[in-house]
Amino acid sequence: MPSSLHVNPSPLFGKRDPDSRGYFGEFGGRFIPETLVAPVEALTAAYFEARRDPEFVAELEHLLATFVGRPTPLYEARNATAGTGVRLFLKREDLAHTGAHKINNAIGQALLARRMGKTRVVAETGAGQHGVATATACALLGLECIVYMGAQDMARQALNVFRMQMLGATVTSVDAGSQTLKDAINEAMRDWVANVATTSYVLGSVLGPHPYPLMVREFQSVIGAEARAQMLDAAGRLPDLVVACVGGGSNAMGIFDAFIGDPSVQLLGVEAGGRAIADGEHAARFAGGAPGVLHGTRSLLLQDTHGNVLPTHSVSAGLDYPSVGPEHAWLASIGRTRYDWIDDDAALDGFGWIARLEGILPALESSHAIAWVQRHVQTFKAGDVVLVNVSGRGDKDVDSIRARLGLAVTGTPV
């Protein structure tokens, strides 16, 4: 077949594919039941065909511009770094439609589902942002939407549950296990197995069997492509450091993607340190994980000596997951990225820091990345340029933050 047929019409696609089995180094692949082999193969073929189709890419880019509101702004947070000589830039994914980066991927996968002739979509959600984004995309494209969400997450993200319902989605509570994101993914996959003829599974992060880690990263890579151009315009050069929170890792892979080939740019992912780095008290896979298989892919996994998945904890529902995207694990293994963790209390401090000084309420997930910068800003050199991905807005978290801090509604700042 002529190579010209494989030229992608967008710079977002086809830059760094895994091998033919879906592996990034030793991580990735497909670990799925026989009943999912055919639908995953069909999804793979449809995705690789769609990303080469100028009409598909043009429709995606049109919706990103006119519906999602891209490009999102790059904002220099001068107040937060006053007196340090450090330039801190925030990529404002919180200003995308629905309030987070999740819409970039949801629109892409929903378009693909419609292209494949599917009429029904299932999705999982933790913090609720992927659920809201998927419900939004399905409303736009006329698809039935069922979202699975852990009962614990539904309680702490009640606003997002109502938003999904208002958008026409059915939100199904998952009462099994830890009642969080891991369990929601389990139920979404079960639904997909039972309804493969009519249903597409819109996975929200760079997880799952191939092609999901690649597909989600490519749909999210618009973040990094924009940020790179915006940094060159605003600062006249690339950043010294790019920081993003990492749950499954889609917002981080989205912004890291544009800088992977620039060795001068450090890439840092910030995980959820929870209450402590002890079994069941955190979700920092790079601090306590080992290679293992979960939800169809091989990556780093929090597990006991018998291979049983450990429970996790984070103040942020979107980071409360025992594994991480396989491409993150691979990039760390080759030394291209590094990972640190921030505990619950520090994340809350980071939320308050950027809220009071910059007038921005970040999501608790994003607050982990912001808190890392807050903790380390005095160690940077004057003239250093730091870029942080504000992956989502914190409206959804205000009630849970208030409850955690034990605050009544008063006239006193948090």
Distance CA 49, CA 102 (A): 23
Residue 124 annotated among the catalytic residues of the structure = yes
Angle ∠(22,28,31) on CA atoms, nearest 5: 90
Question: Catalytic one among 178, 391, 396, 400?
Answer: 391
Angle ∠(129,102,145) on CA atoms, nearest 5: 65
Question: Catalytic one among 93, 124, 187, 218?
Answer: 124
Which residue from 192, 205, 211, 153 is spatially nearest to 328, judged by alpha carbons?
205
Question: Catalytic one among 102, 118, 182, 396?
Answer: 102
**Per-residue DSSP letter, 39:** H
Residue 20 annotated among the catalytic residues of the structure = no
Distance CA 150, CA 185 (A): 9
CA distance to 122, 152, 153, 159, 161, per residue, from 172 (Å):
10, 12, 12, 15, 10
Distance CA 361, CA 69 (A): 19
Residue 91 annotated among the catalytic residues of the structure = no
Distance CA 225, CA 272 (A): 26
Distance CA 271, CA 281 (A): 13
Distance CA 135, CA 170 (A): 9
Active site residues: 102, 124, 391
